[in-house]
Amino acid sequence: MKSTIFALFTSLTLTLNAQVPNWTQYTCDANEYSMYKELSKGKAVLLSFANQWSPACDETASKTEALWQEMMSENVKVFGFLNEDADFNMADCDDADVWMTENGVTYPTFIYVEEVLNNYINKYTTNGVVNLPWLLLFFPDAENPANSTLAYSGNNVNEVNHILHDQWLQSVGLNQEHLQNPSVVKILDPLGRETSFKANTALIYVFSDGSTKKVFVAE
């Protein structure tokens, strides 16, 4: 039985030179995906880390699937990372099949994800611990995927939904109008300091074409 990371995710720190960790993973039906490849296509990428034994992860998976079905035509990609099975062991393909069927998951889901999970924990937490389910939403920098922006970190699918509808869909509409691909390059607080998404807080989104947008999402 493996030890598992149990702790309440409490804070997020982004540094000016932070780079998004890359990964290349295969689904159980041998389809290959890469974080940087998806970001280079100009897609927003949502990562959903889960454990099979967790009812909270089941609920989040079902809600994430509904979001995926709604957003899959809007340059949004969702990936699932199943960490542990019902017995707290490393999940395998049989576990993934059961979990995906029970929760109606159709977005690409990977097993043997401990290294990827640890890389993101080390990058995006201050104390090296996180509670699953864990959702990470990235807005792309298509020219330099490593510099893509972390727009959300937490476990609330509703907040992810707000961000995608209030920010991402608007940016996609701007792309279509101007036939270009501006992406969010940073998020600033009212004092001009780089930060991450926070509900109930006035924020400034800076896009790759130099445009800015004031954002306030109430929760």
Domain boundaries, the chain: 24-215
List strand residue ranges (DSSP E) for the chain, in order: 24-26, 32-34, 44-50, 76-82, 109-110, 134-139, 149-154, 184-188, 194-195, 203-207, 212-215
Q: How does pLDDT run along the chain (219 residues), one tens digit per residue?
A: 333 333 323 233 333 345 999 999 999 999 999 999 999 999 999 999 999 999 999 999 999 999 999 888 888 999 999 999 999 999 999 999 999 999 999 999 999 999 999 999 999 998 888 999 999 999 999 999 999 999 999 999 999 999 998 889 877 664 444 434 556 777 777 777 787 777 677 878 777 666 677 776 655
Token match 């393909």: residue?
93
We find that the CATH architecture of domain 24-215 is 3-Layer(aba) Sandwich (3.40)
Per-residue burial over 26-52, b if 16 or more Cβ lie within 10 Å, else e, is ebbeeeebebbebbbebbbbbbbbbbb
By DSSP bridging, strand 76-82 and strand 134-139 are: unpaired
Task: Specify the long-range contacts of residues 168-173, CB closer than 8 Å, at least 24 apart.
Answer: 168/44, 168/74, 168/75, 168/76, 168/139, 169/74, 170/213, 171/139, 171/207, 172/74, 172/75
- Helix (H, G, I), strand (E, B), or coil: what is residue 45? strand
CA-CA distance, 27 to 119, in Å (whole number)?
19
